[in-house]
Structure 1
Amino acid sequence: MLRSMAALAFVALLLALAGCTGMYLGVQGERPTSSGSLGDDVTARVDIHTITPETVYQQRQELEAAAQLDQARRNAAVPNSNGSYQYLVAPGDILNVIVWNHPELNNPAGQITSEIAGRVVADDGYFFYPYAGRVKAAGRRTTDIRNELTQKLTQYLTEPQVDVSVVQYRGRKVFAVGQFNKPGPVALTDVPLRVTDVVTRAEGLNENADEREAVLTRNGVRYAINLYALYQKGDMSQNLVLQDGDILNVAEKRYNKVFVLGEVVKPQSVLLPYGAYTLAEALGDAGGLNPTTSNGSQVYVLRAVPGAKPQVWHLNANSPDALVLADGFRLQARDVVFVDAAAVTRWSRVINQLLPSVGGLTNLDNLAR
C-alpha cells in the first residue's frame, strides 16, 4: 500500500511539472504590450513584440526606407564603369609581332608553331626581338609596343612596317567562384568583360545559386551585385566592367531560408522567394496550424539581430484579424516561425511519457505484495 501511495505521489508531482515541458513563451492575451507578461528572466534575454496593425505598418515603412537607403549605398559604392577600356599587356601573354617584307624576323629558322613564333612576355614584363633586344611589354598597350619596336628597328631597316597584336591572352584574369555551372578563371581580352560575360563564360548559374547574393571583390573591397535585378529587372548598373584580379562570388540560396516549426501540419524549412514573403505564406506552405494539437494564440516569429538581443514577435492567430496581420508581416532570412502546443496537448504528451514509469512502479508494488 505504501508503494502505491508513493507511486501516486510521484505521478502527481510530475503532472504538476507538465506545464514546464517544451518551449513555451507564455504570452497572454490577444494583444499584450511589447514585453508581454513574461518574467524578467526572459525579457532580459529577448525583446518581445506583438504583431498588430501598427507594428505591421511600421515594419512596412522601415523596410521601404531601408531599401531606399541600401540602394543609394549600393549606387555610391559600385565602381565606376564609365570611360574607355584599354587592355594592357601582362606577363604570360603571347604577342604576335610582324615586320612586313622581312620574313627572317617574322619566322626565324622556319618555325611555324604559333607559340614558338609568338613572343611570350616573361615574368619581368619583357620579351626579346631580333635587332631590338629586350622590349618592355607589361603594363603597355600594343600600340606603345609597336612604336618602340619601330623606333629601334629603324636603325637597321628602312621604314619598317611593324604590327603587334596579342595572340593569346593569359596574363590577366577574373575569377568566377561559387554557384556557377563551370566556376574558374576567365581571361581578360581587348574586349571589355562585364558581369554578364563572366556568367556566360562560366556556363550560367546552377540551381543552388542565389541571384540576390553575388559579391564582387576588387582590391580587397567587397561590392554587392544583384544578379536578379540585372537579369529580371534590366538594372544595367549591376553589369560592371571587370578588372584584372576581380572575384565574382555567387552564394548558395540555402542561406535565405525561414524555418516553420512546432504545431503545424508539415514542419519544414522554406527558401525565401524573390520578393516579399509573409508569415501567412509561411504558415500556408507548412499546411497551416495543426487543428488538434496547436495553440492558435501562441504563434511566434523568432529573429536574430546582430549585435542586439533576439526579437520575438507574437501573433494571436485566434483573433479575427489574425490572417490579415499575418499576411502583412514580412519574414526575413533565417527567421524561425514557431507554433506552440495547446495545454491539453502538452498534458497528454506528459501522460504518455509517464505511463511506462507508472506501469513499472505498479509492477514493483505487485511484487512487494
Structure 2
Amino acid sequence: MLGKAIHHVRLWQILFAAFILQGCGAAYVSPKVQAEDGVVRVVPLTAQAIETANQSPYSPRAIPAAFTQQIAANPSNGVQGMGVLPVLGDAPQPRQLATRIPPQVDPEPYKIGIGDIVRLTTQPDTNRDTSSAPPDVRATYTVQDDGMISIPGVGRVMLLDLTLAQAEARLFESFVSARIDPTFSLEMAEFHARAVVIGGAVAAPVSIPITLTPLYLDEAISRAGGVAVSDGTDVSIRIYRDGSLYQLQLSEYLTTPEFHKMRLLGGDSIYIDTEFSLERAQVYFEQQITLAQTRHQARAQAVAALTAELNQRRATLAVHRTNFQDQLALDAVARDYVYLTGEVIAPGRFTLPFGREATLADALFSEGGFTSQTANPAQIYVLRAGEDGAVTAWQLDARNVANLVLATQMNLRPNDIIFIAEQPVTRWHRVVQQMVPALITSGAGLAAN
C-alpha cells in the first residue's frame, strides 16, 4: 500500500512539473503578435486605418499584351490587284448611224427590291372613341439583303419581288398570325433597288431610281441637265440594256415624239456620245463591266489576304499565350505573393493577380479561410514591413462578423503576411497533446518500479 501511494505522489509530481515547464515555455511555444516599441506596431483595422494602409504605392503586374491585343489588319492603300483598265482609243467615224431601238416592254407594276424603304402606318382601333384614340404610328423599314423587313412584335416578313398589293396581303397575314390588329397602310418611302444611269455629254451625269411612276427617255435626259453640246449634228444616244447596245441619233430623237416616251427599265445605262462611234460606245460599256469585275476580284483577293493575315496574327498570339501559360505552370514568371500562416486552413502563399489589386478577403477565402474551432477570430493580422524596417500589424477583430466587411476593403501588398492566432483553449489542447505521450511513458516506468 505504501508503494502505491508513493507511485501516485510521483505521478502527480511529474504532472505538476510538466505544467510548470509549459508555463515556462519549455513544452510548447505558441506564436503570437506582440507590440515592440520601434519594431512592431499593432494597429486595429478600421476604415481610417484601411485608408492609410491602402495609400502605400503598388502597381499590379500587367497581364501580357498577347491577352489584350486586338486582332486588326493594316488598312491597304486602295484596292490591290486592280491592274490597268483599257485605254479608250480612236475609233472610225462612219457617216451613217443605223438606228436600233430597244423593244418596248411592259415592266408590270413596281416590285419591291433590296434596299427599298417602305413606310408602314398603323392606325388606332376604330371601335374606340376617336377623340381619345392615339394618333397613327408611322415607321419605315429597309428591305434587307435577304428580301425581308423586320417589324417589332411581328417578326421578319418577306417582301422581295412583291407588288404593293401583294406586300399588303403578306403583311396582313403576318399581323393576323401575330394577333395584332391588322389595320395599317403601306407605301413606298424611298426607291433604291433599281436605277437608270445616264452619262456622257450631259450637264450632270446622274443615277435615277425607278419608282412607281414610269421613267421615260426625255425625263432622264432632262434630269441629267440636258445634252451639253453646242452642235448636235454628230451626237448619238446609246442605250445599254441586258447585254445589248441600242442607238439613235440625237437629231432623230428630237424630231420623233415617240422616242421621247421610250420607257426605261431598271439597269439601263444611257450614254450621250458626241461621235458616230459605235465601237467607242461599246468600249465604254465594256470598260464599265471590266472595271466592275476587276473590283470584285480585287475585293476577293483583299479579303483572302486579310483573312490570312488575321489568322497568322491569331496564331502568333495563341503561341505567346500558350508559352506564357506554360511558364506560369513552371513558376518561371515573376509574380507577387502574400503569405498565409497561423490558424488558416491552407498555409502557404497567395498569388496576387494580374492587372488588379487583391484584398484580405480574397487571400483568406480563396485559400479556404480559417476555422473557428482553432483560430482566434479576434486576432487576424496583416503584417507589413515599412521602409524603416519596422513592422505594422493591422489587426482585424472578426468576433463581430460584420467586421469582415473591412477585409474586403484592405488591399494587400507584395510580401504581406497574413497571420491568425490560435484560441487559448487550442493552446492548452496542444500542450496536452504534446505532453500526454511523455506522461504515459513516465507512468509506465513508475508502474514497472
Q: Tell me, yes or no, whether TM beats 0.5.
A: no
**TM-score normalised by the chain length of structure 1:** 0.44
Based on CA coordinates, which of the two structures has the bigger radius of gyration?
Answer: 2
